[in-house]
Amino acid sequence: MLLAKTIVRFPNLPLPDLVEPDEPRISDHIRVSFVGNHFARKGGCVAIRLAELAAARGIALHLTIASTLTMGRGIWTDPQREGYFDDWLRRLEHPAITLLGPIDNAAVMDLFRYSDFSLLTTFSDTFGYSALEAMAVGCPVIGTRQGALPEFIRDGQNGILLDLPTDEYGEWIESNTANRDSPAFEAKFTDEVERLAQQALDAIVRTHEEPGVLARMRVAARQTIATHFGSQDASRFWDDYYEVALNS
C-alpha cells in the first residue's frame, strides 16, 4: 500500500542559459575538468593519471582541477597512511594540468562550459551534484557505475560510465574497510586508479575518433537535465502535488 504511493523525484536545479564561451569549446586539446574538494574520493588521482597517460601516448589533453585537495585521513575511501598522497601532490605539477584551487559556483559553471568532458570517477557519492551542473551546460560526464550516477548517465549517449566493483548497495567494495592504513589497501586503491584512468582515456579517444559523437553527447547531456532535473518542472510538480494533498 505504501509502496504504491511512493514517487521518486530527482533533485533539481535551475537550467542555465546555453551561453557560448568566448572561445570555441573545441580546440586542438581535449579539455577535461575535475571538480571536487574530497580529491581522492571523487577521482582526483584518476584525473592526474589520465593526464599522465595521455601525455605518454602523445594525446593532446589538458586537465583543469578545481579542488581544496582534501584527502587521506578521515575519508572513508582513501588510504590513511601519512605520506601516501605526497607523490600524487607532486604530480599535480605536470604540464598538462592546471590547478585552480577552490572556485565559486559561477566559475565552476564556466569551467564546464569550456570542457569537453567533466571527470567524476568517484569511489563514493550519493548523487554527484557536480555531474548535473556539468551536463546542464552540455558537458558530458565520465563517471563510475556507483551510487546514483547510472540512473542518469547513459553510457555512450550523454556521457561515459566506467565499471567499479560495488556491493549490493552500489558502494565501492573497499569503502570503510578496516585496513585502509595498510600497504594492501594502498595497492588496491592505486590499481583501481590505474584501471579507471586507462579506461577513461580509451573512452575519450574513441569518442573523439568518431565524427559527431561528442556533439551528440553534449546535446543529450543538456536534454537529460532539462527533462528530468529542471527546477521549473519540479516547482510545477510539487505545487500540483500539495494542492491535491490539501484537497484530499
Lowest mean pLDDT among 1-15, 68-82, 150-164: 1-15
**Main-chain phi, psi angles of 183, to 5 degrees:** -60, -30
The yes-or-no verdict on residue 3 having pLDDT over 90 is no
Section 149-157 average pLDDT: 95
Mean pLDDT of 108-132: 94
Residue 98 has φ and ψ, to the nearest 5°, of -115, 125
CA distances from 3 to 84, 238, 243 (A): 46, 19, 21
C-alpha cell recorded at residue 238: 510539487
Residue 15, in any domain of the structure: no
Residue type, 128: G
pLDDT digits (tens, 9 = 90+) for 64-97: 999 999 999 999 999 999 999 999 999 999 999 9
Please report, for the domain that includes residue 94, its CATH number. 3.40.50.2000
Tell me the C-alpha distance between 156 and 136, whole Å: 17
For the residues 31-46, what does the mean pLDDT come to?
97
53 belongs to a structural domain: yes
Nearest one of 125, 174, 145, 113 to 11, comparing CA atoms: 125
Range of the domain at 225: 27-169+180-232
Q: How many residues does the chain have?
A: 248
Residue 235 has pLDDT above 60, yes or no: yes
Average pLDDT of the residues of the chain: 91
Residue 240: inside a domain: no
Task: Taking residues 47-52, report their average pLDDT.
Answer: 98
Q: Is residue 130 part of a domain?
A: yes
Strand partners, 157: none
Residue 22 maps to a domain: no
Burial profile 40-65: b = 16 or more Cβ within 10 angstroms, e = fewer: bbbbbbbbbbbbbbbbeeebebbbbb
Lookup result for grid cell 592505486: 190
On whether residue 7 sits in a domain, the answer given is: no
Is 6 a domain residue? no
Domain count, the chain: 1
Residue 202 has pLDDT above 60, yes or no: yes
Residue 62 belongs to a domain:
yes
